Amino acid sequence: MNIIRTVRSVAFSSIPNRTLSTTRSLSTPSAQYTAFEVNDKTGIATLTLNRPPVNSLNLELLTEMRNCLKDAETNKCKGLIITSSSNSVFTAGLDLLEMYQPQDERVKSFWTALQSMWMELYGSKIPTAAAINGHAPAGGCLIATACEYRVMLPNFTIGLNETLIGIVAPKWFVSAFLNVVPRRVAEQAITQGKLFTTAEAHNVGLVDDVVNTKEEAIAKCEQFIGSFKNVNPYARALTKQQFRIKELQELEQQREKDLQIFLGLIMQPSVQKAMGIYLEGLKKKSKKQ
Ligand SMILES: CCCCCCCC/C=C\C/C=C/C(=O)SCCNC(=O)CCNC(=O)[C@H](O)C(C)(C)COP(=O)(O)OP(=O)(O)OC[C@H]1O[C@@H](n2cnc3c(N)ncnc32)[C@H](O)[C@@H]1OP(=O)(O)O
């Protein structure tokens, strides 16, 4: 891949207890919806989702996320932090427009890219952390739970709300959720399509920490990644793999079947109708604001 390396100085003087550092921006020429930077001092990469207004995950954004993750691993970064450029939305989840009245080839590529992105993030060799600085419904929660650590800002929401849209959270969405939330809480919440407030999410273990600012969230993620500094990276990666291999193999072996189930479900007229009504509701709400 053709990676452009630019060196960009970032003054951290406004952040207490932090020495001056630099970040390298590594970005592919086509990067449109993401910013990817590596802190030269810590070796930690930050992937910032930047697809206004709500970072909904379309095919292009998913592809860029995959490229960033690959860059972080190829460049032997110490870890990866995922965050958002928005002040109120981490990501609104999958772009509903990819699934509403979709084109055949595009929707297949979209779902396949989502599967790949999830497997690469969930199975990543390097430590991963989510600085959740806004709402994280459905696909947003999927990204957060694929990471090893989550810190969230107050008064936002996170969860798997698919049933409220008339769709179903696939098994692999649920499996990562089950890593962090007790089974009974998960079953009740996901069948109800519940979105947890930050405080509720912290209470059930869906997020590990709550802080007030994005800077504090990034610092917490750095702290988590830094906690592995005395651990052999190879031993760490293999140990992580032991915890995650089952879900990864399950999806890898069922990729085509998973795609067909997805297509079968979203192409049902009743599901298309429900999605249309949901989208209309979002648009009406957006116009009122
Ligand atoms: C038996 C097994 C079967 C398995 C089958 C598998 C099938 C499963 C298929 C898919 C799984 C789906 C996963 C998903 O992620 S679906 C997406 C779920 N996301 C949501 O429900 C969130 C919807 N959005 C919101 O609630 C809000 O936008 C917000 C809280 C995130 C942010 O609020 P606010 O800042 O007030 O923004 P607006 O609501 O005003 O929105 C601005 C603008 O953006 C549009 N929009 C919002 N979300 C989405 C989205 N997910 N996709 C596309 N577009 C979105 C919204 O419509 C507004 O548009 P505008 O009016 O044109 O400006």
Q: What is the mean pLDDT of residues 84-95?
A: 98
Look up 264 and say whether it is catalytic: no
Q: Is the pLDDT of residue 146 over 80?
A: yes
pLDDT at 45: 98
- pLDDT band of 48, cuts 50, 70, 90: very high
The tens digit of pLDDT for each residue in 182-203 reads: 999 999 999 999 999 999 999 9
The one catalytic residue in 139, 159, 166, 193 is 139
Beta bridge partners of 5: 26
- pLDDT band of 7, cuts 50, 70, 90: very low
CA 172, 199, 158, 211 dihedral sign is negative
Peptide bond into 53 cis (omega under 30): yes
d(CA 188, CA 148): 23
Distance 95 CA to ligand 1 centre (A): 6
All residues at 6 or more sequence positions from 197 whose CB lies less than 8 Å from its CB, including other chains: 155, 156, 157
Look up 139 and say whether it is catalytic: yes
Supply the mean pLDDT for the chain: 91
Closest ligand 1 atom to residue 173 Cα is: 11
pLDDT at 41: 96
pLDDT at 15: 26
Q: How many CB atoms lie within 10 A of CB 87?
A: 9
Q: Ligand 1: residues whose CB is within 6 Å?
A: 53-54, 56, 88-89, 92-97, 135, 137-139, 161-162, 165, 167-168, 170, 261-262, 265-266, 282-283, 285-286, 289
Question: Lowest-confidence range among 20-34, 36-50, 117-131, 153-167?
Answer: 20-34
The one catalytic residue in 26, 47, 69, 94 is 94
Q: What is the mean pLDDT of residues 257-282?
A: 96
Helix (H, G, I), strand (E, B) or coil at 81: strand
Which residue out of 265, 286, 287, 288 has the highest number of ligand 1 atoms within 8 Å of its CB and is therefore the one to mutate? 286
Distance 140 CA to ligand 1 centre (A): 10
pLDDT at 4: 30
Domain architecture of the chain: domains with CATH: 34-282 (3.90.226.10)
Which residue out of 98, 101, 110, 282 has the highest number of ligand 1 atoms within 8 Å of its CB and is therefore the one to mutate? 282
Helix (H, G, I), strand (E, B) or coil at 40: coil
The tens digit of pLDDT for each residue in 239-252 reads: 999 999 999 999 99
Q: Is the pLDDT of residue 174 over 90?
A: yes
DSSP string covering 83-151: EESSSSBS---B-HHHHSS--HHHHHHHHHHHHHHHHHHHT-SS-EEEEE-SBEETHHHHHHHHSSEEE
